[in-house]
Amino acid sequence: MLEVNVALKVGSFQLEVAFQNQKTFTALFGQSGSGKSLTLNLISGLIRPNEGFIRLDGVTFVDINEGIFEPMHRRRVGVVFQDSNLFPHMSVRQNLLFGRWFAPKGDRRIDFDQVIEVLGIGKLLKRPPSRLSGGERQRVAIGRALLSCPRLLLFDEPMAALDMERKLEILPLIERIRDEFRVPMVYVSHAIEEVVRLADLIVVIDAGKVKAIGGPGEVFSAASAQSEEARFDRSSVLTVRVAGENARYGLTELKHSSGVIWLGGAAGPAGSEARVIIKATDVVLANEPAHRTSVRSVLQGKVLSIHDSGPFAMVEIALAGDNHLFAAATRQAVDELGLQKGCDVFALIKTAALDEAKIAPAHVS
């Protein structure tokens, strides 16, 4: 179990973060400048808190009251940064072996060949980092961190510099590592697609404080999880069942208790549970089901709240099955449709905005 309960003041910024996770994968999610990296650096031992403690499976990394501060190398944590930080003068193999060197001889439980196979980097072993693509460099960086057989693996925005295609290649690799090597992980990101797909527990940090905490479904259905300013980034996460494919058009039908959503691309085996991420700006509101439009994805719900913000409004809709959906609209449209708390409403979702990056299997860990 990872237990974090720390306070830190740097300049005028005050960080106070507390959470615990018995499962493997914790995501620290929040806007730029919210305090995610500081939290990660406190866990790695790069910086020392003013107050509090951090423990992993009963091992104390730091406890200010007890006067304990283990330096980074004694915590045995592996870190993967946005920039892979590989040693430029070493080959891929040497970089990986460097990681191995940090693993204590009696605890080399993670196998070199297995890591290479999972990450698909067998063909790259002789190359210097300068001859790798960004995605390949990140795979090697993950391999190097993993081969040190860490007690805890930390990721600081590991995919922030990669394009969507590379992200979609690397996400399943991180999933496999999570499931095959069972190393606890803490993953910093401001990308909702990544944290929903990977995490058991999401800790939402805002202005140095924990704003929400829970599994992907719970956290992103709560209005409080995302900041008010993030109107154009606001997303909802709905739990759906994969109903079947329309092979002719390359679409997948997703069933929600409030209606049907069509996704461009594949979404896992029929019958399986999945989570779909819907941006508030991809939802159109209507008083009645859409006729003669291109929209095929329609959910029915009740207006739960309306928050005005300048010319716009954020409409929160309660759907059957305890999911909430956010829709961004103009205040004018909200007035003209006569929307108010308790009204029935139809949410029309653009399938063209829902591709494979927006779907994640609802994993059980």
Binding site for ligand ATP (CB under 6 A): 10-11, 13, 30, 32-38, 190
Tokens 């989570």 sit at which residue?
Answer: 275
Least distance in angstroms from the C-beta of 217 to ligand ATP: 23
What is the rounded distance in angstroms from the CA atom of residue 119 to the CA atom of residue 113?
10
Taking the C-alpha atoms of residue 241 and residue 276, their distance in angstroms, rounded to an integer, is: 10
To the nearest whole angstrom, how small is the minimum distance from the Cβ of residue 256 to ligand ATP? Answer: 32
Nearer to ligand ATP, 138 or 351 (CB): 138
Q: Cα separation of 49 and 15, whole Å?
A: 9
**Tokens 């069942």, residue located:** 241
Give the whole-angstrom CA distance, residue 278 versus residue 237.
6
Closest by CA to 155, choosing from 82, 204, 99, is 82
Residue 344 C-beta: closest distance to ligand ATP, Å: 39
Q: Which two tokens stand for residue 193?
A: 């697609």
What 3-state DSSP class applies to 192? helix
> Cβ distance 262 to 354 under 8 Å?
yes
Cβ atoms of residues 131 and 90 within 8 Å: no
13 versus 249: smaller Cβ distance to ligand ATP: 13
**Nearest-approach distance from CB 127 to ligand ATP, in angstroms:** 30
**3-class state of residue 359 by DSSP:** strand
Residue closer to ligand ATP, measured from CB, 46 or 295 = 46
Cα–Cα distance, 169 to 101 (Å, whole number)? 28
Place of tokens 């040190």: 148
What separation in angstroms does the CA of 80 have from each of 36, 138, 142, 153, 337?
14, 8, 6, 8, 49
In angstroms, the CA 80 to CA 83 distance is 8
- 213-216: long-range contacts (C-beta < 8 A, 24 or more apart)? 213/19, 216/275, 216/360
Closest approach of Cβ 190 to ligand ATP, in Å?
A: 6
- Taking the complex as a whole, the smallest distance from the CB of residue 331 to ligand ATP amounts, in Å, to 31
Shortest separation between residue 270's beta carbon and ligand ATP, angstroms: 38
Asked if 55 and 18 touch (Cβ cutoff 8 Å), the reply is: no
The secondary element (H helix, E strand) that includes residue 108 is none
Minimal distance in Å, beta carbon 192 to ligand ATP? 14
Q: How far is the CB of 353 from ligand ATP (least distance, A)?
A: 24
